[in-house]
Chains A and B, each alone.
Chain A
């Protein structure tokens, strides 16, 4: 059987890539995709825990995470459309009317 640590490593790497994308990319849609990456990293670790702890509850949480991710994506894209209507940009850092 594959050691649980391997899955954890994989999960951590994907999470890091997600965070990196989130912090580096200009395009807000890619930022959203990076968040999805992070969530997938979490899911990987949860499913592997579920398997290795002989417990289904991790999978339940994954199920909920996927559902919520869909909801967040929907509303997120709604707000992106609204932002685009206002600014004609998908570069989120250009929305900085408020600071200080």
Chain B
């Protein structure tokens, strides 16, 4: 009765007070993390699952309510912020704990909480056999909390807190199975490579703070556009430094090497962190600070170029992988490349749109891959799979939907609409160029080839492994929901009905299109559809119909070399090993007794020396102490009287 009553009141209460609940969104996962961390392994698995999943679910519900309210009765200026408290206050340095909600952060929050919730739900079953069950959920909750802080942050310091928080959780979760040293190494690699970017970003933040005198992101954007003319050195430097951070976090060229190795973590982790949310933090950062990038056209151009290159390079690499998760990892890099391309040509909302659809279908693909991997007893190699269509029908169909969406099969898939938008803007935008468009098209072709290569290898052909475990309800349900989202998620932005970009336009300026005449939007859609369909056919021909052709190609010396080159991710790891790691180790080795060591050694030595020397004064003899006081008095008198 009470609940009914409450239901009646709730909509009325949902009014202005709704926004007051914003803080609950990150607070729930934080509470979940604390509860799980505090009780540790003592907590029963069931309870850990309920707390871990429930906390994210609760914040998803709050996000939904707030989102609905935001859409139905938008707050003034289409943004609202909630200041919880000011952390410290010293002059201009006034970092507050403030959450800032505008369409951009709302979309991010929505995706993070919903996809996060589904992945948590999936994990309750996926991880059921694992040791450290509650540890897993504690990390995951902490991750969701950090990610929400990151996207809701109103100032640079809070954003940085979230940024480092997700980095930490990524590190912890990649190395979740810490008993295997390779996993620890992968975690370390991810941490160090992203740290390169983080450092650059931190310097950028400091530069912004010292030049513009505020930490508040909106104020920074305002002041920057007033203080810095387009193309000024400061704007370029700041944008470039922030870009560095974005490249590291989003695994873009040249800092992309960590992501494929990050697949060492449990599959839900890969789905949540390394596909749907964290890796897109770079996209978010650039979108959030889009004013800066507009002020620095050079850097914005660089974003587009990097995006185009990355999507191609990663696409080729994905083509050759055996490990199903590595295919998806390269595909993620490639898709984020699309988002960067969109950002680079000023199609901010297209990037965000692709982020959203990508989160749906890539999470779906990872979760589907997880189901396959679990079914085949942790088999990752696609060449040892096959014919799973019959055994795992639901997984097959959902995986197929995800793949279709990834390959942007026309009309029915979400990926089609988002990718199409990017391709269109890469050509028609003021900053676009046919080259970008061509790269995007080539990428689209690659995408559908490697995606359907994956589908054909796993689900078609002869069965090669025995299915030992079939997914239960808690794993199926998220797959279904995500599959639905992978289809209908695209309908919010149809070519003539741009609901999504209308919604976010208060936060992200709409793209300026110039060369309308070169190629109509409809024409370009037809071409894109054709390309993806061609890709699927090629995959069908090469990997299902006549796999021999591929083998013949790869057994040819040149083909072999190319295969190896792509397989190893264009040799970036090799290159970095030779250029950075090798010399670094060499310098460290040869320098072992050299002067840098001498500085540190010397400092330690002096520390020890003074410690020993001063320790002699602590003789334990009262007389000596009294002498110290007397001499101290003499010194004090000496300084005060004679100085």
Please say whether the chains A and B touch (CB closer than 8 A): yes
B residues 574-628 near A (Cβ < 8 Å) are 615, 618-623, 626-627
Which residue of chain A lies nearest to B624 when distances are taken between CB atoms in the complex? A93
CB–CB B623/A98 < 8 A: no
CB–CB A99/B619 < 8 A: yes
B residues 80-134 near A (Cβ < 8 Å) are none
- Judge whether B630 is part of the interface by a CB distance below 8 angstroms: yes
In Å, the complex CA distance between A100 and B615 comes to 5
Question: In the assembled complex, which residues on chain B have CB atoms less than 8 Å from the CB atom of A23?
Answer: 623, 626-627, 630
CB–CB A93/B621 < 8 A: yes
Give the number of A-B contacts (CB < 8 Å): 25
Which residue of chain B lies nearest to A94 when distances are taken between CB atoms in the complex? B621
Question: In the assembled complex, which residues on chain B have CB atoms less than 8 Å from the CB atom of A100?
Answer: 615, 618, 620
- Judge whether A19 is part of the interface by a CB distance below 8 angstroms: yes
- Judge whether A92 is part of the interface by a CB distance below 8 angstroms: yes
In Å, the complex CA distance between A40 and B596 comes to 60
In Å, the complex CA distance between A93 and B627 comes to 13
Question: In the assembled complex, which residues on chain A have CB atoms less than 8 Å from the CB atom of B615?
Answer: 100
Question: In the assembled complex, which residues on chain A have CB atoms less than 8 Å from the CB atom of B620?
Answer: 96-100
Given A19-B630, A23-B630, decide whether A93 and B623 contact each other with a Cβ distance below 8 A: yes
Cβ proximity bits B425-437 to A, threshold 8 Å, 1 near / 0 not: 0000000000000
Which residue of chain A lies nearest to B619 when distances are taken between CB atoms in the complex? A99
Interface size on A, residues (CB 8 A): 11
Question: In the assembled complex, which residues on chain B have CB atoms less than 8 Å from the CB atom of A98?
Answer: 620
Question: In the assembled complex, which residues on chain A have CB atoms less than 8 Å from the CB atom of B623?
Answer: 23, 92-93
Question: In the assembled complex, which residues on chain B have CB atoms less than 8 Å from the CB atom of A19?
Answer: 630
Question: In the assembled complex, which residues on chain A have CB atoms less than 8 Å from the CB atom of B618?
Answer: 99-100
CB–CB A96/B621 < 8 A: yes
Most buried by A among B618, B620, B623, B630: B623
How far in angstroms is the closest Cβ of chain A from B625? 10
How far in angstroms is the closest Cβ of chain A from B620? 3
How far in angstroms is the closest Cβ of chain B from A28? 9
In Å, the complex CA distance between A75 and B621 comes to 21
How far in angstroms is the closest Cβ of chain B from A14? 16
Question: In the assembled complex, which residues on chain B have CB atoms less than 8 Å from the CB atom of A95?
Answer: 622
CB–CB B619/A96 < 8 A: yes
Question: In the assembled complex, which residues on chain A have CB atoms less than 8 Å from the CB atom of B630?
Answer: 19, 23
How far in angstroms is the closest Cβ of chain A from B584? 41
Which residue of chain B lies nearest to A19 when distances are taken between CB atoms in the complex? B630
How far in angstroms is the closest Cβ of chain B from A34? 10
CB–CB A92/B622 < 8 A: yes
A residues 45-100 near B (Cβ < 8 Å) are 92-93, 95-100
How far in angstroms is the closest Cβ of chain B from A27? 12
Question: In the assembled complex, which residues on chain A have CB atoms less than 8 Å from the CB atom of B627?
Answer: 23
How far in angstroms is the closest Cβ of chain B from A42? 14
How far in angstroms is the closest Cβ of chain B from A16? 10
Cβ proximity bits A11-55 to B, threshold 8 Å, 1 near / 0 not: 000000001001100000000000000000000000000000000
Contacts A19-B630, A23-B626, A100-B615 supplied; 18 other A-B pairs, CB < 8 Å:
A22-B626, A23-B623, A23-B627, A23-B630, A92-B622, A92-B623, A93-B621, A93-B623, A96-B619, A96-B620, A96-B621, A96-B622, A97-B620, A98-B620, A99-B618, A99-B620, A99-B621, A100-B620
Give the B-binding residues of A (Cβ under 8 A).
19, 22-23, 92-93, 95-100
Q: When A and B form their complex, which 8 residue pairs have the shortest distance between CB atoms, in order from nearest? A: A99-B620, A96-B620, A93-B621, A92-B622, A93-B623, A96-B621, A98-B620, A99-B618
Of the A-B pairs whose beta carbons lie under 8 Å apart in the complex, a sample of 25, sorted by A's number, is: A19-B630, A22-B626, A23-B623, A23-B626, A23-B627, A23-B630, A92-B622, A92-B623, A93-B621, A93-B622, A93-B623, A95-B622, A96-B619, A96-B620, A96-B621, A96-B622, A97-B620, A98-B620, A99-B618, A99-B619, A99-B620, A99-B621, A100-B615, A100-B618, A100-B620
